[in-house]
Structure 1
């Protein structure tokens, strides 16, 4: 199994839109407490697809030449260079195969190489133990736990923040 990341290609609009709307399972782990509805093809084309084409804050995860998910980043505070990263595997048949563990390091290295930053953050919630485990496995340190700030299906969960510094990442990788 070969895992890579890359920007989208112009001819991938419809297949990528289909991938994103193919099921709702991935949303159970990716902040399900936030409202979300699948984008129409037109909405996807004008927003996420443009970001995927540019590739600077959103790229595809490719497994054996097949797109299965995305890696992303966003500025928590651009003025202070506080950047957060994320990963989503949309296709459930690829879950539990270690794909995120192979794709996320490629993305973190890309972020450190292309952006003027000293730290990459990763925030998840206590309802996603696989992401919490992955962050630690990749060398991120738990920096904060905001207790019971995510309410979902009648239960409170923690928001858990991880970070890795450039010096730590370069030493490990």
Structure 2
């Protein structure tokens, strides 16, 4: 569990399975900004329980975001290439009422800090697209550098967008003012 005031990153509870499934696959407002050019692959409740929900319960590579007592999203990480220790992070905030309030930035700050403690890494990355300016500002606000821009590779609603890669190095993170100071790893 990672805590910053009214924000908690934690493992999912068994009783939250249906609520999370509903937010991800039925009330999926979040998909409008999270790679909408890629169709959401629907999962039945059964497969959700075996896949993402299992990961959220275990808490090794995914955690629920709780803000003021409400589940508002989740964080994840995945190996782009584990043999070279190339780790990427992702975040989903379910509803637009929680966007633009720095909830995502605070959550990612805790998550990235935790991952640098947990793993012997020199870099953590995040990929977004130019159609999501809030995510771009979030990454930059965390001290991440834009490391790559694949121009006009995302086609959505008749328009081309760039794919953007951001990253932060361990020494940059450790010397920055955005690194977590209130995080508790339980």
Scaled by the length of structure 2, what TM-score is found?
0.88
**Superposed CA RMSD:** 1.3
Matching of residues 87-166 of structure 1 within 5 Å? 87-166=91-170
The gaps in structure 2 that reach 5 residues or longer are 180-186
SS at match of 2:117: helix
Are the equivalent residues in 2 in contact too, given 1:112–1:166 (CA < 8 A)? yes
User: Which residue, 161, 167, 170 being the options, matches 2:174?
Assistant: 170
Matched, 1:8 2:36: no
1:116-165, Cα deviation, whole Å (9 max, x unpaired)? 21110011000001101111111000111110111111111101111001
Matched, 1:51 2:55: yes
User: Which residue, 77, 84, 87 being the options, matches 2:81?
Assistant: 77
SS at match of 2:83: helix
2:168 and 2:21 mapped to 1: Cα distance? 32
Scaled by the length of structure 1, what TM-score is found?
0.95
Q: Work out which structure has the larger RCO, using CA pairs closer than 8 Å and 6 or more positions apart in sequence.
A: 2
Deviation at 1:22, TM superposition (A): 4.3
2:133 and 2:79 mapped to 1: Cα distance? 24
In structure 2, the residue matched to 1:21 is 25
Are the equivalent residues in 2 in contact too, given 1:4–1:106 (CA < 8 A)? no
SS at match of 1:151: strand
SS at match of 1:143: strand
**Aligned length in residues:** 173
Are the equivalent residues in 2 in contact too, given 1:19–1:68 (CA < 8 A)? no
Deviation at 1:33, TM superposition (A): 1.2
1:68-90, Cα deviation, whole Å (9 max, x unpaired)? 10111111111100011111101
1:15 and 1:159 mapped to 2: Cα distance? 31
Are the equivalent residues in 2 in contact too, given 1:149–1:157 (CA < 8 A)? yes
2:26 and 2:128 mapped to 1: Cα distance? 23
